[in-house]
């Protein structure tokens, strides 16, 4: 039996960086960021990307002819996006793994070039396919965040890995057969994802499985299909079709707002695929506004506490209990999971990993505000029912 090597958990401490007044985050095998809009979830994830991939980012900018002329504010604008230089303040403090980081100095110093360590799937991923085909890094102007530009470039290069028939889904060896079956049912019912050529221009289409059924361009796909396809291609990039569990050099996988445009059943499939990334020893980070994602994390934690079996976990996700899925669930239950709430009021992050519904802290009992509405709705209805019974003759 192979022994899993325990990794040291990365730790990041940030003070006064944009909306983040204080963040103290220890990353698990899976780390989930929750909280209201514009509280710093994406900013913190992009900051981690900058810290672990500084040399790679600078190289990509240089190849694209992006020049910030030694101006740190200019660098922040081309990396985080136009106008984002205001993130940095005089009293900003950053420490990564216990070591203080002077970000302006780090951006300017000469660093040994390393392979990309973090693969980042941004919330704006749909823009990578707005014309039906991924755009090159330098297609975007300097106002667009680095993470979107780099993601689009990765997808563009990935397209060359597929066979001459142009089929992108379903493709043997790219995903577990169980995943392919679930995706066919909940994302692509009756269609295959293919590469088509129109007027000498390649484009992605959904091709009908029915004879003579034709194909659909990106513009007429459902919102969920448009959001999911770039996510799927990103997962293809990470789930290499070889004996190696991970893509060479890549240790982190970030997915922002995985739930966008997706039906709850499809969200379940995506969560299972992210669990697969964990079992391949990627350190997975996600941001979300979906209570269903925290439902999944809560279930894994409670099952782990009670020594439950892999079968119990698969019942939560309502998937067939095949041997590959049982092996996946057995590994997932052993992994560490962390959840952090980004509070708008004080600008601080809070560790709510216990996800205790009885906790005194509202941020934890309400799972970062994701269950506030359902809680108020239940309370209001219960009171109305009780009052109606009292008033009944």
Q: What is the mean pLDDT of residues 16-28?
A: 97
pLDDT at 327: 95
Judge whether residue 1 has pLDDT over 50: no
DSSP H helices, 22-120, are 41-52, 54-63, 72-80, 103-108
pLDDT at 243: 82
Residue 315 within any structural domain of the chain: yes
Identify which has the larger pLDDT, 364 or 297. Answer: 297
Please write the tens of the pLDDT for every residue from 87-132. 999 999 999 999 999 999 999 998 888 899 999 999 999 999 988 9
**Alpha carbon distance 384, 376 (integer Å):** 12
Q: What is the mean pLDDT of residues 70-80?
A: 95
**Alpha carbon distance 209, 195 (integer Å):** 15
Judge whether residue 54 has pLDDT over 80: yes
Residue 201 within any structural domain of the chain: no
What is the number of domains present in the chain? 1
Q: Which domain CATH number covers 15? A: 3.40.50
Mean pLDDT of the chain: 89
Query: What is the greatest pairwise CA distance in the chain?
Result: 82
Residue ranges making up the domain that contains 58: 11-154+242-383
Strands 201-208 and 191-198, sheet pairing:
antiparallel
Element (H, E) at 149: helix 146-158
Judge whether residue 86 has pLDDT over 50: yes
Specify which of 17-31, 184-198, 339-353 reaches the highest per-range mean pLDDT.
Answer: 17-31
Residue 136 within any structural domain of the chain: yes
Residue 189 within any structural domain of the chain: no
Judge whether residue 250 has pLDDT over 90: yes
Band the pLDDT of 3: cuts 50, 70, 90: very low
Residue 307 within any structural domain of the chain: yes
Q: What is the mean pLDDT of residues 372-386?
A: 56
Say if residues 65 and 389 touch (Cβ distance below 8 Å).
no
Judge whether residue 386 has pLDDT over 70: no
Q: What is the mean pLDDT of residues 195-217?
A: 87
Beta bridge partners of 370: none
Q: What is the mean pLDDT of residues 310-335?
A: 93
Q: How much of the chain, in percent, has pLDDT values that exceed 70?
A: 90
Residue 198 within any structural domain of the chain: no
Say if residues 19 and 352 touch (Cβ distance below 8 Å).
no
Residue 123 within any structural domain of the chain: yes
Give the CA distances from residue 254 to residues 153, 200, 286, 340, 344, in Å, rounded to whole numbers and listed in that order.
16, 34, 6, 15, 22
Residue 15 within any structural domain of the chain: yes
The verdict on pTM exceeding 0.85 is yes
């Amino acid at each position: 039996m192979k022994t899993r090597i325990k990794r040291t958990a990365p730790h990041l401490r940030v003070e006064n960086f944009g909306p983040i007044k204080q963040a103290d985050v220890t990353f698990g095998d899976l780390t989930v960021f929750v909280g209201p809009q514009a509280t710093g979830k994406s900013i913190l994830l992009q900051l981690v990307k900058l810290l672990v991939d500084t040399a790679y980012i600078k190289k990509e900018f240089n190849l694209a002819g992006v020049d910030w002329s030694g101006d740190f504010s200019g660098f922040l604008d081309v990396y985080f996006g136009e106008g984002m230089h205001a993130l940095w303040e005089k009293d900003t403090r950053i420490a990564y793994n216990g070591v203080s980081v002077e970000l302006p100095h780090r951006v300017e110093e000469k660093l040994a070039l390393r392979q990309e360590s973090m693969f980042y799937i941004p919330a704006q991923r749909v823009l990578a396919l707005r014309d039906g085909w991924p755009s090159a890094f330098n297609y975007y102007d300097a106002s667009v965040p680095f993470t979107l530009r780099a993601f689009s470039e990765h997808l563009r290069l990935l397209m060359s890995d597929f066979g001459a028939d142009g089929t992108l889904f379903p493709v043997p060896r790219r995903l577990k057969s169980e995943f392919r079956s679930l995706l066919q049912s909940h994302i692509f019912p009756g269609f295959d994802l293919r590469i088509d050529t129109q007027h000498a221009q390649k484009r992605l289409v959904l091709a009908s499985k029915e004879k003579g059924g034709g194909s659909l361009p990106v513009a007429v796909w459902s919102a969920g299909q448009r959001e999911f396809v770039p996510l799927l291609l990103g997962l293809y990039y990470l789930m290499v079709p070889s004996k190696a569990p991970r893509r060479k050099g890549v240790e982190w996988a970030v997915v922002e707002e995985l739930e966008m445009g997706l039906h709850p059943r499809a969200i379940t499939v995506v969560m299972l695929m992210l669990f697969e990334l964990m079992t391949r020893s990627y350190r997975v980070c996600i941001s979300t506004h979906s209570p269903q994602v925290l439902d999944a994390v809560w279930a894994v934690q409670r099952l782990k506490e009670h020594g439950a079996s892999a079968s119990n976990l698969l019942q939560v996700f309502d998937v067939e209990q095949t041997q590959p899925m049982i092996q996946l669930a057995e590994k997932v239950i052993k992994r560490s999971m962390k959840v952090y709430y980004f509070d708008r009021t004080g600008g601080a992050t809070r560790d709510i990993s216990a996800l205790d519904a009885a906790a005194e802290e509202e941020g934890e009992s309400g799972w970062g505000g994701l269950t506030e509405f359902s809680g108020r709705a239940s309370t209001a209805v219960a009171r109305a029912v009780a009052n109606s019974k009292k008033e009944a003759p």
